[in-house]
Amino acid sequence: MTDQVRDHGGGLDAAIVKFGGERIGWIDLSTGINPHPYPLGRLAPDVWNALPDKGAGERLLAAARRFWRVPDAADLVAAHGASALIAQIPGLVTAGSAVIPGPTYNEHAAAFTAHGWRVSDQGDAWAQVVVHPNNPDGRLWTPATLPAPSARLTVIDESFCDVAPDRSLIAQAARPGSLVLKSFGKFWGLAGLRLGFAIGDPTLIATLRDRLGPWAVSGPALELGARALGDPGWARSTRIALAEDSARLDAVMRRAGARSLGGTTLFRLYETENALAWQERLARHQIWSRIFPYNPRWLRLGLPHALHWPRLEAALA
Amino acid sequence: MTDQVRDHGGGLDAAIVKFGGERIGWIDLSTGINPHPYPLGRLAPDVWNALPDKGAGERLLAAARRFWRVPDAADLVAAHGASALIAQIPGLVTAGSAVIPGPTYNEHAAAFTAHGWRVSDQGDAWAQVVVHPNNPDGRLWTPATLPAPSARLTVIDESFCDVAPDRSLIAQAARPGSLVLKSFGKFWGLAGLRLGFAIGDPTLIATLRDRLGPWAVSGPALELGARALGDPGWARSTRIALAEDSARLDAVMRRAGARSLGGTTLFRLYETENALAWQERLARHQIWSRIFPYNPRWLRLGLPHALHWPRLEAALA
């Protein structure tokens, strides 16, 4: 459950041990989670106490279908986070070769390897996974640039695509062997809630549903997910706010001497002369950032909460 | 996610369509969920907003280890409900023959069948599953009465055992090939929260952990689970209250002409002349109960909330 052997960012616990302070005093910019989440509002006691019923599940899926304009030919299933789906997907079909263009979110390769697949980062293969937009560099894909023309299993991880819905490849969900993943935690800022979706080939979705078991989504997630996905106005104003904040972050970092390499409006990737030195400098101000084992110059930052800009600007002054 | 094709009880949605009324007016006695749940208290915003961190997971597992007196040789993993574990367990070892003494909770047989096992309800086998105490009749098991002496995989589902901790078979969790399941939703009355545990053979637990993926438990479940499992006083007084309420329910039902067949102090099983007629009689008072496709005389009732006794007593008068 907290298997964080793989490099996930996060790791604020360990940073606090090393650099001191109390959790409450730290600003965690090591993830790509919207710091201004969808409001919790009121939750009726039944949401907590009762087994989630069929109606609540149907309301969530109907809202998801509308919000993401899911093609009629595609089915969808909700799970306790996109990571739960990522862990199960490689077991849906017989293992073989998989292509996962990197660098990218490393849980995909880990899950395919755990299920006995041979994973490479280029070339044709039986399965292909793209993260769209890619984490950490923001790379976008199109149907024409997908890496494996012969793939029988195609996974398009759109965990960060809700900031750019016009770029979504959701139409691909109607193709046999295809799955598009959606995450609720990042754009809506409720990562602790655990909610994610797989959308695509009805046969694959049916197997995923079986493997997840009944009641895979909590009562609070069913309720808040349905409310948030039924609120396109919040999504529109949030996209504008995230775009403004990411431009502001780029400006702050440029003044401090880093070069923007892109990303999404939920996280920004910077080139520095020495990412570890930047991470330690920020950590001395109790601001946690993300570095990458495979590139010593890359630093990734999520967006600060409105109240935290002055501390970030002071740390970089 | 809400795959309720199998008979799970619940199904209050459908009852409302058939018998009328609004959800808020119905009393749902079709499950075995404590109607007086562990208090939610306050939840810090981070519980909802942040990715659950390693420390929160460790606190939960440490509290679980103490509360259930987990043997040192056993490992444990938390998941989004016992049902998520039940769906995954048959995939941990090569499929063969499984014995699941029935009648019992039907998700076990469904999951083993879905993973290609041959399931019977008696005889020796490669795998065995017992529900302890059994649902719906309350049957208790001992190491000597387990059905399959040659089983390499033994699952002891203690979802309802927290009302009788002295009967727990948790010591079996230290045996190779064994898993003991615990559920948070029932005894603590927070079924919507989705939290369950597998405790046992470290090799099996490690595979389960991989299949569940990172962050399998929500922030609210990590926090409330750790609090509740660290509160043995609440558990003690709850056991007393549940015993009193189940004795009261037996008395009410005896006066109405039903015979108690046992159960646990979270649900009671009754023999009636015609369970469907009893279910419909209660449903006309907007009280939902559980009947069983395999026995037309069995009626199962959960305990009513303190405020709901008068309506139940009036319906049965």
Q: How far is CA B3 from CA A305, B11, B195, in A?
A: 39, 11, 18
Q: Is beta strand A295-302 parallel, antiparallel or unpaired with respect to A127-131? A: unpaired
Higher pLDDT, A244 or A1: A244
Which residues are bridge partners to B267 per DSSP? B264, B302
Mean pLDDT across the stretch A240-268? 98
**Pairwise CA distance, residues A12 & A28, whole Å:** 7
Residue A1: what pLDDT? Answer: 32
Q: Could you give the 3-state DSSP secondary structure of residue A148?
A: coil
Q: Is beta strand B27-28 parallel, antiparallel or unpaired with respect to B287-288? A: parallel
**Pairwise CA distance, residues A260 & A280, whole Å:** 19
CB atoms within 10 A of CB A299: 27
Cβ neighbours of residue B9 under 8 Å, at least 6 residues apart? B30, B31, B290, B300
The single residue listed with the structure tokens 């259930």 is B68
Side chain identity, residue A132: H
Q: Which residues of A155-169 are buried (b: 16+ CB within 10 A; e: fewer)?
A: bbbbbbbbbbbeebb
Tokens of B302: 């959960």
Q: Which of B58, B69, B64 is nearest to B82 (CA)?
A: B64
Per the CB < 8 A criterion, the answer to whether B113 and B100 are in contact is no
Q: Among all residues of chain B, which has the CA nearest to that of A84?
A: B213
Element (DSSP H or E) covering residue B212: helix B202-212
**Pairwise CA distance, residues A216 & A222, whole Å:** 10
Closest Cβ opposite residue A53 in set B10, B51, B52: B10
Q: Could you give the 3-state DSSP secondary structure of residue B270?
A: strand
Chain A 256-285, CB below 8 Å of chain B: which residues? none
Per the CB < 8 A criterion, the answer to whether B290 and B299 are in contact is yes
**Pairwise CA distance, residues B299 & B252, whole Å:** 14
A72: buried, middle or exposed (CB in 10 Å: 19+, 13-18, 0-12)? exposed
Instruction: Classify A200 in phi/psi space as left (phi over 0), alpha (psi -120 to 50) or beta.
Output: left
Tens place of pLDDT per residue across chain B (317 aa): 333 345 565 678 889 999 999 988 999 999 999 999 999 999 999 999 988 888 899 999 999 999 999 999 999 999 999 999 999 999 999 999 999 999 999 999 999 999 999 999 999 999 999 999 999 999 999 999 999 999 999 999 999 999 999 999 999 999 999 999 999 999 999 999 999 999 999 999 999 999 998 899 999 999 999 999 999 999 999 999 999 999 999 999 999 999 999 999 999 999 999 999 999 999 999 999 999 999 999 999 999 999 999 999 999 99
Give the ipTM. 0.90
Residue B2: what pLDDT? Answer: 34
Tokens of A207: 């197997």
**Pairwise CA distance, residues A110 & A309, whole Å:** 35
Per the CB < 8 A criterion, the answer to whether B261 and B137 are in contact is yes
Element (DSSP H or E) covering residue B131: strand B127-131
Cβ neighbours of residue B8 under 8 Å, at least 6 residues apart? A214, B106, B107
Q: Among all residues of chain B, which has the CA nearest to that of A187?
A: B49
Query: Is residue A133 reached through a cis peptide bond, with omega within 30 degrees of 0 on the bond before it?
Result: yes
**Pairwise CA distance, residues B118 & A16, whole Å:** 51
Contact B1 A78 (CB under 8 A): yes
Largest separation between any pair of C-alpha atoms in chain B = 55
Residue A281: what pLDDT? Answer: 96
Q: How far apart are the first and last CA of chain A?
A: 39
**Pairwise CA distance, residues B274 & B279, whole Å:** 9
Alpha-carbon dihedral sign for residues A92, A98, A101, A103: positive
Residue A54 confidence (pLDDT) above 90: no
**Pairwise CA distance, residues B182 & B83, whole Å:** 10
Per the CB < 8 A criterion, the answer to whether A99 and A128 are in contact is yes
How many residues in total does chain B contain? Answer: 317
Q: Which of A253, A273, A271, A260 is nearest to A317 (CA)?
A: A253
Mean pLDDT across the stretch A109-132? 96
Contact status of A13 with chain B (Cβ, < 8 Å) = yes
Contact B48 A193 (CB under 8 A): yes
**What are the extents of the domains in chain B?**
12-37+233-316, 45-230
Contact status of B308 with chain A (Cβ, < 8 Å) = no
CATH architecture of B45-230: 3-Layer(aba) Sandwich (3.40)
Q: Which of B91, B152, B108, B147 is nearest to B126 (CA)?
A: B152
Q: Among all residues of chain B, which has the CA nearest to that of A77?
A: B1
Alpha-carbon dihedral sign for residues B2, B191, A65, A107: negative
Element (DSSP H or E) covering residue B87: helix B82-88
Q: How far is CA B210 from CA A87, B61, B79, B251, B287, in A?
A: 7, 17, 11, 48, 42
Chain B 19-38, CB below 8 Å of chain A: which residues? 23, 28, 31, 33, 35, 37
If pLDDT is split at 50, 70 and 90, which confidence band does A108 have?
A: very high
Q: What is the CA angle B17-B35-A42, rounded to 5?
A: 75
**In chain A, what percentage of residues exceed pLDDT 90?**
92
If pLDDT is split at 50, 70 and 90, which confidence band does A6 have?
A: low
The single residue listed with the structure tokens 């009788």 is B164
**Pairwise CA distance, residues B127 & A210, whole Å:** 20
Contact A8 B219 (CB under 8 A): no
**What strands lie across the sheet with B295-302, from one edge to the other?**
B259-264, B267-271, B295-302, B290-292
Asked whether this chain's domains B12-37+233-316 and B45-230 adopt the same fold, the reply is: no
Q: How far is A184 from chain B (nearest CA, A)?
A: 11
Residue B51: what pLDDT? Answer: 87
Residue B53: what pLDDT? Answer: 81
If pLDDT is split at 50, 70 and 90, which confidence band does A2 have?
A: very low
A294: buried, middle or exposed (CB in 10 Å: 19+, 13-18, 0-12)? exposed
**Pairwise CA distance, residues A27 & A309, whole Å:** 10
Element (DSSP H or E) covering residue A71: none
Number of cross-chain residue pairs from A and B with Cβ atoms under 8 Å apart: 210
**Pairwise CA distance, residues B163 & B169, whole Å:** 13
Closest Cβ opposite residue B192 in set A51, A77, A91: A51
If pLDDT is split at 50, 70 and 90, which confidence band does A29 have?
A: very high
Contact A83 B215 (CB under 8 A): yes
Contact status of B92 with chain A (Cβ, < 8 Å) = no
Tokens of A167: 């770029």
Alpha-carbon dihedral sign for residues A173, A178, A184, A188: negative
Mean pLDDT, chain A, whole residue set: 95
Tokens of B258: 């039903």
Say if domain A12-37+233-316 classifies as CATH 3.90.1150.10. yes
Contact status of B156 with chain A (Cβ, < 8 Å) = no
